[in-house]
Structure 1
Amino acid sequence: MEAATHLRRATVSAHGDRVAIDGLVVQDETAARLVREREEAGADPAEMVADAIEIGARVLDREQTGANAEFVKNEFEKVSKSVEAEFGDRARAVAEQLGEKVDAVFHPDTGHLSKSLEELFSDGSSTAVQHRVKELVAEALQRSHADLRKQFASADEGVNPLADFKARTVDAIRQADDRQSKSQRALLAQMHELEKQLQGLRDEKQKLEELADERERGTAKGRSYEEAVAEAIDRVAEVQGDSCDAVGDELGTGGKKGDVVVGVDGCSGPARGRIVFEAKDRRLSKPQFLEELDRAREQRDADFAVLVVPGEDEVPARLHALREYQGDKIIAVFDPEDGSSLELEFAYRVARARVTALREGADEIDAAAVRSTVARAVSAMDDVRKIKSQLTTAQNGIGGAREMVEALEAKVRAELAQIDAALASADVELAPADAEPARVTPPAPEPDDGQGALL
């Protein structure tokens, strides 16, 4: 960045962690271009200027730290050389002085060694040369030591060559300690935040694992099976023009019994009746079956209830699939992996016929024809079951048996279509759309011998 050109005296001051600039003009082509581009883009150029100052300040701070370190190194080398040279000079001076003294004593021509050798080197003489030499050397070393200690102990930069180095070193160490403390605090804050995020991820993982375990144990009302049953019922209801709602998680009248509720003719207007489906992937006892479906009808305000199970092993004890119980309950077997929803469709159509008959009045419908058709459909379903059972154990003739099954399934659907035709042919006078349909109390159930009764 080029040098700043001041149009008038600029005022720059620092307030805490903020810098206030007044009247400062910067002559720099790059900075001017960036500000102009920000203005043309409709952005606030002050943000770009603030970013430029922040980035430049950080660069200058790093450059200044490097320059200080290099300066300390150079000063240290300079002082070391100075100390070494000064010490050498003093040592030479001492050596020269000692040489002069020795010459005065030991010079072969001018010395008085030969005259007073005995006196000077006598062990009993207090003025022996060796004693005097020791005294002189000790005095010289003591003075030199005192001078050096005084010089390096002084705080005056003119006397102590290491005073400036010491001050700069202490300042640099203090600044480095401050920066390190700030960095450590920021690092600790980041680590604390990362620990929170990690704990959140651990909690989420634990919840997912618990949900997977719960699904494997078959808890949460067999959620996967309920969804498959709801999808299959929705496909049948769409063909019939009925409304279909999955209500397993919704609160009904006093509870959440019942997984799917079908409104008869609900797609074309007010529903003429309601059928509730309860999906179970476990086996119930007969009392539990009756209680579950009665509570489902009551809580969902339904006229008929259907229990859907994934296989014959889950049919309640001493009961049978596709048999009506107490005039308002039936059991259907539906295995999503099997791919066939015929039994579920059969139970759906039988329940729909029963609800339609209750709502519109039995006098307008040929009950005998409906019973006969249902009986034939049940018989055909029994044949379908027998053949399917044979298909699971036999490996030969599978193709022909499959065609027989499909033909019988078509026959069952034809019989069900006749039921719909018989119901549709009845000339029934419906209640007004805004009036609540009268609920028909089903007839009292006949004594149950465990086998159930057909319609």
Structure 2
Amino acid sequence: MEAATPLPFSSVHVRNGRLAIDALVVDDQCAVRQAAERGDPARFVVEAIEIGARVLDREQAATDTDFVKLEFERAARDLNQQFTERATKVADRLDQKVEEAFGAEHGHVAKVLARHFGDESTGAVQHRVKAVLDEVARTMREDLRKQLTSDTTDNPIVAIQRSSLKVIRDSTTAQNEALVAMTGKLEALKLQVSELRAEKQRLEDVSAAESRGTAKGRTYEEAVFEALDTVATSRGDGCEALGDLRGDDGKKGDVLVSVDACTGPARGRIVFEAKDAQNLSRPKALEYLDRALANRGADYAVLVMPSADNLPARSNPLREINGDKLFVTFDPEEGSTLALEVAYSLARARVLMARDAEGGVDAGAVRAEVERAIGALEEVKRIKTQLTHAQNGVKGAREIVEALESGVKAHLTAINVLLDAQ
């Protein structure tokens, strides 16, 4: 005997407001093609069933409307037919009554006229005929009234009323259910719209905050570039603003100085990273400088920040790190570029000494001048701090500060002379 082949019957159940389908196989080529094109066939099947159910629901509503229309038309035809039959019966009965009353041979009127009246009797005949007609008409009206006002199935109007009431009641119930469902959907949509508006406002606020932060950082970066450009021009160096230009590692490195680029090939490069931010850790700052060195192909990196409070913890300005990195402060609002000039000169000296390690540069003299310049700069900072708190003797202290600044600039000039003496 052959082995029994299992029949591919599917099982469909409705439980707890959900539709469950087991072992369902669909052979429709359109459905198979669309399911294959979708990335999630299961989701496609759910959407196809939901869309098909809604289409069938709309088709069923249209079918119900056509059914009501057909029922009204059928009831009207039945009423017309029944009314015609009733009218025919009434007419037949009227004909019968008229025949009985006015028949030429067997009519009551003819018999009465023949029995009671002769050719000379004319006065009472009209009254008798009128009485008979009135009685017949009254009887007909009574019969018709009883038929049209009765609650039995003989009355065609009762059937129409009952059918109409049932259709109206069912239609009202369906409309109420649809309105309840639509109200729920509208409430859900209102909630979604409110959430989307809140999310949009949040994103706009975040974007505005980011724009303000970017604008502030760009302003400080431009101020640093302008100060460095002035210093570089006085020394015959090239200065470029690269904050908007991407390198191999993004936009790390805001300003690039090419040493002696105005008089010939560049003898070295110094990259400056301007940061108008707080809470920048020392490892993060060093990482920025290392990436800026690699991104711009520079020999020395300088991190410029507005004040000592912005510098990473446990970091001092104008203190070299690893021989190729330096932190310095520059506040555009103060208007003094002295610290930035010292950092510039130190970085420039380091680059030139590294390039001319076997040349005629007196490294010891350069280091000595650098130390004197840094010491003088520290003295300037100390006196400026005292000026902030002092109320008397401001003018004299200011003159001392200006003299010290002149001394620092003299040391920087000496450094440049030592670097150029080769």
TM-score (norm 2): 0.52
1:140 aligned partner: 143
Listed as ranges, the gaps of 5+ residues in structure 1 are 254-258, 279-292, 310-314, 330-347, 361-416, 431-438
Query: Identity over the aligned pairs, expressed in percent?
Result: 20
2:222 aligned partner: 228
1:425 aligns with 2:375: no
Secondary structure in structure 1 of the residue aligned to 2:190: helix
Secondary structure in structure 2 of the residue aligned to 1:135: helix
2:32 aligned partner: 34
Secondary structure in structure 2 of the residue aligned to 1:249: coil
**Amino acid paired to 2:398:** D
The change in CA–CA distance for 1:189 and 1:200 in structure 2 (over 3 A counts) is: same
Report the structure, 1 or 2, having the larger helix content.
2
Is contact 1:120–1:129 with CA below 8 Å preserved after alignment? Answer: no
Find 1:76's aligned residue among 72, 78, 86.
72
Deviations 1:332-382 (A, max 9, x none): xxxxxxxxxxxxxxxx4444447999xx9xxxxxxxxxxxxxxxxxxxxxx
The change in CA–CA distance for 1:228 and 1:63 in structure 2 (over 3 A counts) is: same
The change in CA–CA distance for 1:117 and 1:451 in structure 2 (over 3 A counts) is: farther
Find 2:397's aligned residue among 425, 436, 447.
447
Secondary structure in structure 1 of the residue aligned to 2:364: coil
Find 1:151's aligned residue among 142, 153, 163.
153
- Number of equivalent positions: 313
Question: Which range moves more in the overlay, 81-90 or 110-119?
Answer: 110-119
Q: Distance in 2 between matches of 1:10 and 1:426?
A: 92
Deviations 1:396-435 (A, max 9, x none): xxxxxxxxxxxxxxxxxxxxx89x99995232799xxxxx
Listed as ranges, the gaps of 5+ residues in structure 2 are 226-240, 242-252, 260-267, 319-327, 368-373, 384-395, 410-422
User: Relative CO higher for 1 or 2, CA cutoff 8 Å, sep ≥ 6?
Assistant: 1
Per the TM alignment, residue 222 of structure 1 is displaced from its structure 2 partner at its CA by 4.0
1:95 aligns with 2:115: no
The change in CA–CA distance for 1:187 and 1:424 in structure 2 (over 3 A counts) is: farther
Q: Distance in 1 between matches of 2:31 and 2:375?
A: 86
Q: Distance in 2 between matches of 1:128 and 1:424?
A: 154
**Amino acid paired to 1:426:** A
The change in CA–CA distance for 1:302 and 1:238 in structure 2 (over 3 A counts) is: farther
1:301 aligns with 2:316: yes
Q: Distance in 1 between matches of 2:101 and 2:194?
A: 85
Q: Distance in 2 between matches of 1:204 and 1:188?
A: 24
Secondary structure in structure 2 of the residue aligned to 1:7: coil
1:332 aligned partner: none
Q: Distance in 2 between matches of 1:33 and 1:251?
A: 59
Per the TM alignment, residue 69 of structure 1 is displaced from its structure 2 partner at its CA by 2.6
Per the TM alignment, residue 174 of structure 1 is displaced from its structure 2 partner at its CA by 3.0
1:198 aligns with 2:197: yes
Per the TM alignment, residue 139 of structure 1 is displaced from its structure 2 partner at its CA by 1.6
Is contact 1:12–1:20 with CA below 8 Å preserved after alignment? Answer: yes
2:274 aligned partner: 246
Deviations 1:7-34 (A, max 9, x none): 3876532113333445x776x7536993
Aligned-residue Cα RMSD (Å) equals 5.7
Deviations 1:203-255 (A, max 9, x none): 5446656887xx6xxx99944311324564843467666564433222269xx
2:187 aligned partner: 188
The change in CA–CA distance for 1:447 and 1:224 in structure 2 (over 3 A counts) is: same
1:344 aligned partner: none
**Amino acid paired to 1:132:** E
